[in-house]
Structure 1
Amino acid sequence: FSFVIADLPGLIEGAHEGKGLGDRFLRHAERTKILVHMVDMAGTEMRDPIEDYEKINHEIYSYSDQFMIKHKLLVANKMDLPEAKKNLNRFRERVKEDIIPLSAHTQEGVDELISRLRELLCQENSQEK
């Protein structure tokens, strides 16, 4: 079987109300079967990973209930950077979901992400038949 991956840029607050290009991105994401929510766990640019995660979730769930029933993978990216491990521990205390730690730079976690995506894609493909 085949599949398409769409990389959607970060959403801004109010995207579900049409701010920026957010509603276009959300409309596109709504057609996907699986969402991979990748969070910058290093908190670069003075960002808080928990706050970023909660804002994105607010935007997608405010846009459409369809996001509630999609398969989702939560990925903690930039795990090779200094603050990432501390932020991941704090994130895990707050967010009670399965998290795949990953570093695109060192490739840590990439195999796990691919494996999990493959599993979900196979599930989706078998349900469509």
Structure 2
Amino acid sequence: MFEATFATALDAEPLLEPNAFDALVREIGEDGAGEVRAVFWSETCARLRLFRTLGLEQYRARFARDAHSLKSTASTFGYLRLAALALALENTAETLGEAEFYDLLARMDAAYAAARQQEPED
């Protein structure tokens, strides 16, 4: 189960690893990193909206798979809190109750919005 103390610990996770994007820029260049980050923002926004439209009971396995992907890409860009919350969804998708699921989604939405605010305007 997704316990309140665990949820609070996830909210305490830092929003951003400040050097992560710079490392990506060194690997693939500034233009490439910027393009990949723009795709990440767009796909993550769409994914979080989709999560709210799918039924929990029918799509638990999909939530776990999508959360795994989100965790990986959020980690690549250094969005630590979003990655931690996605990991929590990945690990608990099969057992979450509906209230816990929607609470976790709200936390993911907040982490996404907070991370987005940390970024310069595109």
Q: TM-score, length-normalised on structure 1?
A: 0.29
Write 1 or 2 for the structure with the bigger share of helix.
2
Query: Looking at both structures, which has the greater relative contact order when contacts are Cα pairs under 8 Å and sequence separation is at least 6?
Result: 2
Q: Which entry has the higher C-alpha Rg, 1 or 2?
A: 1
